[in-house]
Chains A and B, each alone.
Chain A
Amino acid sequence: MAPTNTSFATAVTIAAFPCDITQTDINDGGVNFTVFYRFVAPLSARVIGAWGFSGNIGSGYRPTIFPYTGPAGAPVAVLGIAAQNKPIQFPVNPGIEYFLEFRKNLDNAGPNQVRVRCEVAPLGNPAPGDILVNDDTPGFPMWIGTPTTNNETRNFVKDMAAAEAGDIVPTGRLLLEEASDNSVRLYETVNFTQLFNSGTLTGTLRIKSNADRNLFYVGRYTGGQAFYRTITPAGVMSGEVTLTGEDQIDGLCANPSNLILYMAEFGSAGAIRRWDIPGVTFLSNLAAGIANYQIPDIQVLADGTILALYHNLVSQDVNIKRYSAAGAVLNTYSLGVQTGTTKPRMAWAFDSPTSFWAWTHTNTGTSIFTNIRVSDGTVLTTRNQQEYESGVYNNPETATPVTRFGNSFSCPFMILHIPAPPAIFVNVVGKKTDTNGLIDVKIPDPTFKTALLP
C-alpha cells in the first residue's frame, strides 16, 4: 500500500524529541514515494538535527532530506539545506511548525524504507575555554564545542554574524564579519547580544585583536588597495588608514602598544610586512615570503614575539613560526600535512600567551583543533570535531555518523571568553526580586514549615 504522508498537508507528526521512526511503505508496486513529516520545534530547541537514512549507501533508494518552515500551505525551504541519505542540522524557532521532506531519488522494485531520526541539539551553558566557530554562510548558527572531548557540541547560538573573519578579546567581546552586507558586528558573549554594527565595509575583510587584546583591527582590501581601521571592544570605530603600497592583506595583528601592524601579503609566498602605525608607513619586512605558503593568520603575543601560521597551498603542510620582533625564527611548530584543503586558522588561547590554538582539516570532514604551548611546542590538547557544512554532514553517507551536530568547515574560530557577571549586590528593602548579575530573577522559593505541618 502506498504511504499516506506524501504531501505537506498529510505529513506525519513527530510528537516528541528525540524521535526514531522507520517508515517501511515507501515503495508501492515499484514506485517509491516522497514522504513528509512535520513537527513543532520544542521550546528549548535552537537547532534540530534530522536524518533520513534508507540503509543503502552509494546506490539504490536514498532519499534527500529538505527542511521547511510551515505552514503546510506555504512551506519555505530552510537555508537551502539538502542532503541525500546524510544527517543535517538547521536552526529553528521554538513553537514554530517545520516540515521535513524525504524526496525519492528513483523508482525501483523495493521494498524500501526510510528511518527518520531527529533530535534537539545540546543546550549546555557556554563555558570559558569553549571553542567557537561561527558559520561561513549567513543564517547558520554559531557552533560552540567543548575543548576537552572529541565531537562534543556544547550549544549553538543563532542569529550571529556569519562570514570568514572574526576575533574575540578577553573581556568577552566578539567581533564578527557578516557576509550578507559586508559589515562587522560586535557581540557580548555573556548573552551573545549584538552591541554594534559597522554598516557595509565594501571589499574583503580581515579581523584580529591586537597583542594587548583590547582593540580589534579590521583589515580591508578592495579595488587594488588595502586599508585598516580599529574598533574598540566598546564599539567605537576609528577612521580608515590607507596601507599605501599594499593591495591585499591576509593575516594581520598589531604588536603591544599598537606601534607596529604585522600583516601578511595575500596569497602564495607572501611576506610578513611591518606597518609603522604612528609613522603611517611601511617598515622593512619582518620575514620574506616562503614559496607556496600563504599566511592566513598572525598573532602577536604579549612579549612582542609573532606567531605566523603558514599553509602550503600545494602540499597542504601547515606550520607555525614564532618570530622575534627582529625577525629571527624562535620556534617552528609543525602540524604536519593536513589532508583537507581548507585554509587552516589560528586563535588566541584562554591562557595566551602561554599557548595558542590552531585548526586544521582532514579530507573526511574532520576539524582538528590543537592547543600548543608556546615555550616548547608541546601539544596540550588535540580535539577532533565532525564538520557540518551548509548544515550537512561533511562526510560520505554512512549508517554510523560520527556525530549528529558539528561546526562549519571554513570560518574563523575563537576560544570563548565570558566575563564573570557582576557580583556585588546590595540588599534593597522592599524589592521583590533578586538579580543574578545579569537579569532579575525570583527570590528562590520562600519556604516555611512549622512543626504542625506534616
Chain B
Amino acid sequence: MRDHAPITIDDFNGLWARGDDDACPLDHFLEATNIQYFDGGFQTRDGIDLFQTANQLGNVLRIHPYKMMNGLTLLVLTVGGNIHHVVSPTITFSNILQKALMTDFNVVSYAGRAYITPFHTDANGIEKGLQNEFLYVYKGDGVTARKAAGNKPTGTVVVANGAAGNMDAGLHLFGVVFESDTGWLSSPAAFNQFTTTLGTTVSFSSVPVSLQSFVVKRHIVATRKIENFNGDLDGYEYFFIPGATINDNVTTVLANVGFFDIDLLEDASHLIDNFAEIPAGVGLCTYHGRLCLTTTFSDISVAYLSEPGEPEAINQVDGLLIVPLDGNPLTNCTEFRDVLYLFKPIRCVGYHDNQDVPATWESFVVDEANGTTVHGIGTVLDSGSVNVDYLIIGNYNGVMLFNGGFNEGELTYKIHDFWHDLDRTLFRALEIINDTITSRLYVILPTGKVLFCDYENGLDHQAVKWAHWTFEVFITTAEIININRIVFGAKVV
C-alpha cells in the first residue's frame, strides 16, 4: 500500500441512479438519503418542526398559498374534504370549504380573495372538477367560502318619468345588475321597456332586492334608443347608466336618473351569457387579468376564461378554449411570457390573447411529448411559478426546464432510472417547489418522500445534485412561505 495512489474527491455531486452501478462517476453517490449539500460537501439535512402552535391540522392532502392583501397565508386541505385557512402558526380558520368528495383542490389569489376549485380523481384515474360542484370564492375573513358568481335579478323593474333633466326620447330597455362584495356583476335581468321623453329623467321603483347576502350594490342598465323593438328583452346591447347605482341591497327606488344615449359607454351585454354558477375544475391560473379554469367534470379538454379584471364573469358562449380532443384531460395551466399554456399529461399547447374573446384565440402546439401533472409546475419562492426566464415542470420524462418549450436534457438525467421507476398512475401527487434563494428544488413524490435537488452550481442536468429525503411521516404536499421557508404537509397512512 506504500505507493498507492489515493483517490481524492473534491466535490460530491449527488445521487446517481442511471444505468449500472459501475456507471456511477466516482464523485457521485449510489445512495444519498437525508443529506444536503454545501459547497462541495454534504451534511445531514435540516430537520423539520411543527409549523402550527395552535389549532393544529392533521392528515393534510394539499397546501396552497393564498396571498391576501396583508400577507401570504395558506389554504390547507385535510382528509375528509375540508379546507382550512392557516393565517399564521397560531391562527387558523377551520372548514372554510367542506366537500366530502374533494381529494384535491387548486386556488388562485385575486385581489386579496381566493378562488378555489375542488376536484378529485375519478375511477379512470383522471383529475376533474367535482360533479355538481363549483368554483368558490373566499375573502380571507374566516367566513365560509361561497360559490363564485351568483343569480341574476328576478322580477321587473318599474320605470316612470322623473324630473326634468338629461334624456333622449325614444324606446329604451332597462334592467338591473347585481354587484357582489367581490365585484361580481350578475347578468342583467328584471327587464322592462319604457319610452323616454326628451328632457325628462326616469325614475325606477321595484328594483329587485337579492336574497344573496353578498350582493352589496345594484346597477341600472339600459339600451340606447331602439327604433324597431322586436320584443326580445335580452337581445339588445345594454350599458351601465352612469351614476345609476344603488349602494345597498335594500332600497327599491332610484329617482330622477338622467342620461343621454351617448353617455352609455360601459357595456353590460357581455354579462348576459355568464355562468351563474361556475363549474368546478382542476387547473386554475390567471392570464392577462383573466381567471382561467380547466377540466370541469363534463369537459376535460375545455378551459374557461373570465373577462379581464372580473374573475367571476365567465361567458359560457365565447369565454372558452377547446384544446384538441385526445381523450386526455387538461391537467395544468400557466401564464409565461405573455402566453397562456395549457398542459395535458403528455402535451402542451399555447394561446395568445388577440384582444378578442377567448373563443377566437388560435392555439399552437408547444410539445406533443411533454406535458405535466396537476401540480407539476414548480412554485417559485412564495410568489408564483416563473423564475428568471423559465418554469420548472415535472412530467413522466423527468423534471425539466421550460422557457416556451421544454429544454432538452432533463434535470433528472442523473437519476433517470429512479424517476422512471416511479408509478406513473400516481403522478398526480408530484409537486415541485423552487427555492431560488438557496438554489434548491423540492420534489414531492407519490411515495410520501421528497427528492431534494441542489443547483447552486447551476441549473442544468450535469450540475445539479440530488438526494432522497425521507421522513417518519408521509409527505403529501409542500409550499414556500416567508420568501423561502419550506412547509410540508403530511397524512397518516
Contact = CB atoms under 8 A, between A and B. Distances in A.
A398 B1 CA distance: 72
Nearest to A447: B33
Contacts of B471: 434, 436, 444
A439 B345 CA distance: 39
Contacts of A433: 47
Nearest to B52: A424
A428 B48 CA distance: 6
A436 B470 CA distance: 12
Contact of B58 (A420, A441, A443, A446): A420
Interface in B14-45: 16, 21-22, 24-35, 42, 44-45
Interface string A331-364: 0000000000000000000000000000000000
Range class of the B interface residue count:
35 or more
A424 B485 contact: no
A445 to B, nearest CB: 7
A422 to B, nearest CB: 4
A446 B45 contact: yes
A429 B33 contact: no
Interface in B470-493: 470-473, 481, 485-492
A447 B21 contact: no
Contact of A443 (B31, B42, B45, B59): B45
B34 A425 contact: no
B30 A428 contact: no
A255 B390 CA distance: 59
B47 A426 contact: no
Contact of A423 (B60, B74, B485): B60
B339 interface: no
Contacts, number: 144
A425 B50 contact: yes
B48 A427 contact: yes
A171 to B, nearest CB: 11
Given A426-B485, A437-B490, A444 B48 contact: no
Given A423-B58, A424-B52, A436 B492 contact: no
A199 B68 CA distance: 48
Contact of B33 (A419, A424, A441, A448): A448
Nearest to A453: B30
A436 B49 CA distance: 8
Contacts of A444: 33-34, 470-472
B79 A424 contact: no
8 contacts: A424-B56, A424-B86, A426-B48, A428-B48, A430-B46, A431-B49, A436-B472, A446-B34
Interface of B: 7, 9, 12, 16, 21-22, 24-35, 42, 44-52, 56-60, 63, 74, 76, 78-79, 86, 470-473, 481, 485-492
Given A421-B492, A425-B473, A452-B26, 9 more contacts: A420-B79, A425-B489, A425-B490, A426-B51, A426-B487, A434-B471, A437-B58, A443-B44, A446-B35
The 3 closest A-B pairs by CB, nearest first: A420-B58, A431-B47, A422-B56
